[in-house]
Amino acid sequence: MSTTTTTRRPGRELPPLMTLTEAAATRLRALYERGEQGKLLRISVGTKGCSGLSYEMSWADAPGPGDEVVTDKGLTVLVDRRASLFLIGTVMDYETKPLSSGFTFVNPNEKGRCGCGESFHV
């Protein structure tokens, strides 16, 4: 009788699904405390633009069955499970420029962006 033992190689630890910069946390905390009190920000990826994918944000009353719950810097953000593979390791930031301000994403999975910055591809 022969017995085969398989030893699993230790897996590489995945980076967190998403993290927040201090600027994003400060802005999100302000939104949660004011007009969006009791709601959660949901981040998803949709098809749009010339590169094919775009970041989408919406408000949710509670996590849904298709949401991953991300907690960073004491804040909770929801990530649509269908977007998880596109977003692993993404850092969400908040930038204020002279003519605009908003959340931005630094995504290590992006292979390129369109010229206007509205969409990306992986």
CATH number attached to the domain at 18-115: 2.60.300.12
Q: What does the H/E/C string look like for 13-44?
A: CCCCCEEECHHHHHHHHHHHHCCCCCCEEEEE
Domain borders along the chain are: 18-115
User: pLDDT digits over 27-55, tens only?
Assistant: 999 998 887 788 999 999 887 666 577 88
pLDDT band at residue 121 under the 50/70/90 scheme: low
Cα distances from 39 to residues 20, 30, 61, 76, in angstroms, run 18, 12, 5, 10
Token code pair at residue 8: 């699993």
pTM of the full structure: 0.78
> How does pLDDT run across 55-114, given as a tens digit for each residue?
899 999 999 999 999 999 999 999 999 888 888 899 999 999 888 888 988 888 776 665
Instruction: Check: CB of residue 17 under 8 Å from CB of residue 87.
Output: yes
